[in-house]
């Protein structure tokens, strides 16, 4: 192998990417197993937790699709199942009839809250307990920077309609 090839293969960026992929797979596997014990698929929990942490427990379907790890059709299937289970409602936007909101119901919130203690324990055991508070802040900041590049619409701070929803202007109606 020539020196150029050796330099390319030794590139620290490859190491960083490999570590990210391995770490994600490891943590995701532990989290998925934990959620399975609660009979909650990961994609379902992803939607529920994003709604629970959003202003008013609701997000426009387009924003939810951007933030989640699901395709549009995958998100629709998950929301349909959650709707049938009484965990979410779909609400048409009062001002823009093309926009639909996913709204967390009390039953959906109860489902999230039932899972959270074990979920947080898994996150702590596999991720946060190995970092001191400063490392965790730096890690979170670095992840936000990377996400801003690879998934720019996923930051709720960049979504004006979410701010309107948080202010209680009544954009969505039942």
Sign of CA dihedral 82, 68, 110, 29: positive
d(CA 47, CA 133) in angstroms, rounded, equals: 27
Residue 36, pLDDT score: 95
Supply the pLDDT for residue 154. Answer: 74
Q: What is the pLDDT of residues 33-70, one digit of tens each?
A: 999 999 999 999 999 999 999 999 999 999 999 888 78
Domain ranges of the chain: 13-166
Name which CATH class applies to 13-166.
mainly alpha
Say yes or no to pLDDT of 116 above 90.
Answer: yes
Dihedral over Cα of 107, 108, 109, 110: its sign: positive
Which tokens belong to 44? 């379902």
- pLDDT-derived band at 164, boundaries 50, 70, 90: very low
The mean pLDDT value of the chain amounts to: 88
Q: Are 72 and 31 in contact (CB under 8 A)?
A: no
């Amino acid at each position: 192998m020539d020196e150029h090839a050796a330099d390319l293969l030794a590139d620290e960026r490859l190491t960083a990417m490999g570590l990210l992929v391995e770490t994600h797979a490891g943590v995701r596997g532990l989290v998925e197993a934990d959620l399975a014990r609660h009979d909650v698929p990961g994609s379902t929990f992803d939607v529920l937790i994003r709604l629970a942490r959003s202003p008013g427990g609701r997000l426009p379907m387009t924003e939810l699709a951007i933030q989640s790890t699901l395709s549009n059709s995958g998100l629709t299937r998950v929301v349909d199942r959650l709707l049938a289970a009484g965990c979410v409602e779909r609400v048409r936007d009062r001002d823009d009839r093309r926009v639909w909101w996913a709204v967390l119901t009390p039953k959906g919130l109860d489902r999230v809250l039932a899972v959270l203690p074990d979920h947080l324990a898994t996150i702590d055991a596999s991720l946060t307990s190995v970092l001191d508070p400063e490392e965790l802040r730096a890690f979170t900041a670095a992840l936000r920077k990377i996400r801003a590049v690879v998934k720019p619409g996923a930051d709720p701070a960049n979504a004006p309609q979410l701010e309107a929803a948080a202010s209680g202007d009544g954009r969505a109606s039942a």
